Amino acid sequence: MAEVTKPAALDGIRVLDLSRILAGPWCAMVLGDLGAEVIKVENPAGGDDTRTFGPPFEAGESAYYMAFNRNKRGILADLKTGEGQGIVRRLAAKSDVLIENFRSGAMEKFNLGLDALRRANPRLVTCSISGYGRFSPLAERAGYDFMIQAESGLMSIIGEPDGPPTKVGVAISDLITGANAVQAVLAALYHREKSGLGQHIDLALLDCQVAALANVAQAYLMTGEKPKRYGNAHQAVAPYEPFETADKPIALAVANDRQFRILCRELGLDRLAENPLYASNSTRAENREPLVGELTAVFKTKGREEWLRKLRAAGLPAGAIRTVDEVLESPEIAARDMVRDVPHPAMGSARMLGSPLKLSATPTIEPFHPPTLGEHTAEVLVDVLGWEQEKAEDYAAKLVRDPE
């Protein structure tokens, strides 16, 4: 019997992705993973900015662009022209979701105001992503992940206590905002099922990153005390940090008093468990420095793998501090389908990250390659807007030949 293909959760939903760079494309990509038909609209003068973010490049495509644009069909449309605006307007009329991250007022300048698009298609969910929000004293300012990491306070809590503020190694503000955008879009679609109407979503990178300060922000709101940097240690839990061993470091996360007693037993340091300075998590956090010194002295007597076997056997959360290559080539990542081989028209086959979303009844779709620039222009104009094939091909060829 042939295997029955399970429909994805968003099968039948069409997303018009007018965004570029990271947060908006990330949102649209995840919706595509979940089965939505995503149409990515790019300008003919080079397309999404991330196409030029490199090195590295492979077959003309950048790692940045490849990471944020799987499971989309790509078309070209010049929004500075009436023809391009008309195409987007007609696509919006046939879409369920529109995502954009232009500067404030740009959509109106293109004769594509979101209020007007929703009047033409009352079921349309529109999502605007910006650095500071559409209704903000900083609405006119462009948003960049690095600026948001700095201005949100995130960098002030990352790094060694006596070192400079440090950013996260990926565009975390964009990623968090993209994830929040997915949640908001899904909530708006659920609301539409009950009301029959779409709505507007206004997301700011700054809002999303400040919200992600979570317990650190809440601690300040409770105490009025300025948060400090703790390096790789935890500000409220100890021991919860890396430890040097005889060869390679380990990461140890002891989250409660019971685990601390087990750790002391495994390290032959039962006297520490009896010491009032370390009896509770709060006292361990207050007396972190001498405690870390005692533990480090023992950890340095054996190598990483021996300690990991011992600690894990005792049920303690301990791990190797791995490099990216070690992670991506690991058996557990392979077992979870987190690295996929995806056919690509220029590369032949592209190794790409897979979706982390594992749904039993509505699994994510089999991934397909990020579109080459304008790859599906004629196809979408024929399939979605009903253009004649020759007219669509002529339009697509014109934009490719004359990108300005």
Torsion, Cα 326 331 336 338, to 10 degrees, reads 30
Q: Say whether 162 is catalytic.
A: no
Contact 100, 18 (CB under 8 A): yes
d(CA 58, CA 78): 26
Q: Residue 271 corresponds to which tokens in the numbers above?
A: 């006297």
Q: Where are the beta strands (DSSP E) in 106-247?
A: 125-130, 200-204, 240-243
How many other C-beta atoms lie within 10 A of the C-beta of residue 268? Answer: 10
The full DSSP string for 348-393 is EEEEEE------SSSPPPPP-PPPPTTTTHHHHHHHTT---HHHHH
Residue with tokens 């900015």: 49
What Cα–Cα distance (Å) separates residue 359 from each residue in 31, 32, 281? 14, 14, 37
Contact 184, 31 (CB under 8 A): no
- In degrees and rounded to multiples of 5, residue 391 shows phi and psi of -65, -45
Q: Which of 33, 48, 78, 174 is catalytic?
A: 174
d(CA 47, CA 64): 13
Q: For residue 76, give the nearest of 112, 107, 39 by alpha carbon.
A: 39
Q: Residue 109 corresponds to which tokens in the numbers above?
A: 């300048």
The HSE-up count of residue 324 (CA atoms within 13 Å, CB side) is 4
Residue with tokens 């999502």: 127
Contact 318, 248 (CB under 8 A): no
Residues marked active site are found at 174
